[in-house]
Amino acid sequence: MNWQMARRAERLNPSTIREILKVTERPGIVSLAGGLPAADTFPVEAMREAAARVLREQPREALQYAASEGHAPLREWVAQQMSAQGLDCDAAQVLITTGSQQGLDLVGKVLIDPGSRVAVESPTYLGALQAWAPYEPEFVAVAGDDDGPLPAALEAARGARYAYLLPNFQNPSGRCITAARRAALVQAAARAALPIVEDNPYGDLWYDAPPPPPLAALAGDAAVYLGSFSKVLAPGLRLGYLVAPKALYPKLLQAKQAADLHTPGFNQRLVYEVIRDGFLADHVPTIRARYRVQRDAMRAALARHLPPGCRWTTPAGGMFFWVELAPGLDATALLPQAVAAGVAYVPGATFYPGAGRANTLRLSFVTVAPAQIDAAVARLAGVLEQALEACA
């Protein structure tokens, strides 16, 4: 049978990160590649008790089809949390999604036509590029510095359907946009009549100080906000949410209905039972404390082992170090040698909307013990030193 693929199918590509994770399953490989939360942080006992309550008190409701908008008490909880951060919204603007990745897909489905321009940071989250590529947009790279995207670059994207921004401990760079830059970006977007799609999976994972208020709190109806429970509870539940302007919400809801009818109702009720009485206020600080130690271990290991010419910035939160290698080195070409030496990372070029910088890579620290971090970075340094010697 000769199956004729849709044109959009040609734009579907495997996730570079997922392919690398397959390699890391080999014995002896220390993975600094995947952006996975540490499994030891999953609140297993709290989940077990909450599951028992749900199945005891509301079993039929939890196992039945449910409203596409999501479990009403959970939506109300999200609205209250967002209002506390300065975003003026109510539960009628909250849509519970099957992971925040689905939120990205719904945004693309509703807002992108073939040839539409979409402004994205450079580098940016690979999963967003993958989610939107089948809708055939033209990605417009927004340049930035250590404080975040440049307002002038955002204004230059005038005419794009929206600007996609990750203000808190960005994946992959670890960068957090400063308060002053956030205000300037919102003003620049308003001048350019450019809506903002704000993605915030890492905002609760701060180590030194909480991040500034969200962009959506400043932009109001000119922004869609995406959040997730994956990094603070468990990614296997596939539970995220979006907060949308009232004018846009109905179409996002219709796209959600067409995609999967609703996010699993049992999972929603389970999560609500866990978080309803303030569980996260005690739980998330334990995650921060653990990850801070691992962040500091990687910072020390990079300073101790990496050869001259390498640069990085210590993240104030999140899961990643972004490393710039010496000019002339290609992180993609060096990956097989690194794996052979027993360490894996993600080449940085894959995170760019266009031609990426070959001498960059992303390192994740949250699933590896401090001693393993030091050993893995030492192995990586050995590979880099050999490559530099070969270039000399």
Give pLDDT tens digits for 42-101: 999 999 999 999 999 999 999 999 999 999 999 999 999 999 999 999 999 999 999 999
Where residue 17 falls among pLDDT bands split at 50, 70, 90? low
Give ranges for CATH 3.40.640.10 in the chain. Answer: 44-276
Q: If you average pLDDT over residues 231-255, what whole number do you get? A: 98
User: Are 215 and 183 a contacting pair, CB within 8 Å?
Assistant: no
Identity of the residue numbered 366? V
Quick: pLDDT tens for 254-286.
Answer: 999 999 999 999 999 999 999 999 999 999 999
Q: Measure Cα distances from 161 to 120, 137, 223 in Å.
A: 11, 10, 12
Mean of the per-residue pLDDT values of the chain = 95
Where residue 18 falls among pLDDT bands split at 50, 70, 90? low
Q: If you average pLDDT over residues 211-216, what whole number do you get? A: 98
- What pLDDT is attached to residue 356? 83
Quick: pLDDT tens for 299-317.
Answer: 999 999 999 999 999 999 9
In whole angstroms, what is the distance from residue 245 CA to residue 94 CA?
Answer: 9
Burial label for 333, CB within 10 Å (0-12, 13-18, 19+), is exposed
Phi and psi at residue 188, to the nearest 5°: -65, -40
Does the pLDDT at position 354 exceed 90?
Answer: no
> For 13-35+281-391, which CATH superfamily applies?
Aspartate Aminotransferase, domain 1 (3.90.1150.10)
List, in order, residues 6 or more apart from 319 with CB less than 8 Å away.
35, 37, 169, 171, 174, 202, 205, 231, 291, 364, 365, 366
Does the pLDDT at position 161 exceed 80?
Answer: yes
- What pLDDT is attached to residue 3? 87
Give ranges for CATH 3.90.1150.10 in the chain. Answer: 13-35+281-391
Quick: pLDDT tens for 172-181.
Answer: 999 999 999 9
User: Are 225 and 198 a contacting pair, CB within 8 Å?
Assistant: yes
- What pLDDT is attached to residue 24? 63
Where residue 102 falls among pLDDT bands split at 50, 70, 90? very high
Does the pLDDT at position 21 exceed 70?
Answer: no
In whole angstroms, what is the distance from residue 70 CA to residue 58 CA?
Answer: 16
Does the pLDDT at position 117 exceed 80?
Answer: yes
In whole angstroms, what is the distance from residue 214 CA to residue 199 CA?
Answer: 10
Range scoring the smallest mean pLDDT among 22-26, 186-190, 309-313, 323-327: 22-26
- What pLDDT is attached to residue 206? 98
Q: If you average pLDDT over residues 13-31, what whole number do you get? A: 72
Q: If you average pLDDT over residues 122-150, what whole number do you get? A: 96
Does the pLDDT at position 188 exceed 90?
Answer: yes
Does the pLDDT at position 23 exceed 80?
Answer: no
- What pLDDT is attached to residue 47? 98
Q: If you average pLDDT over residues 130-157, what whole number do you get? A: 95
- What pLDDT is attached to residue 74? 98
- What pLDDT is attached to residue 163? 98
- What pLDDT is attached to residue 8? 85
**CATH class for the region spanning 44-276:** alpha beta
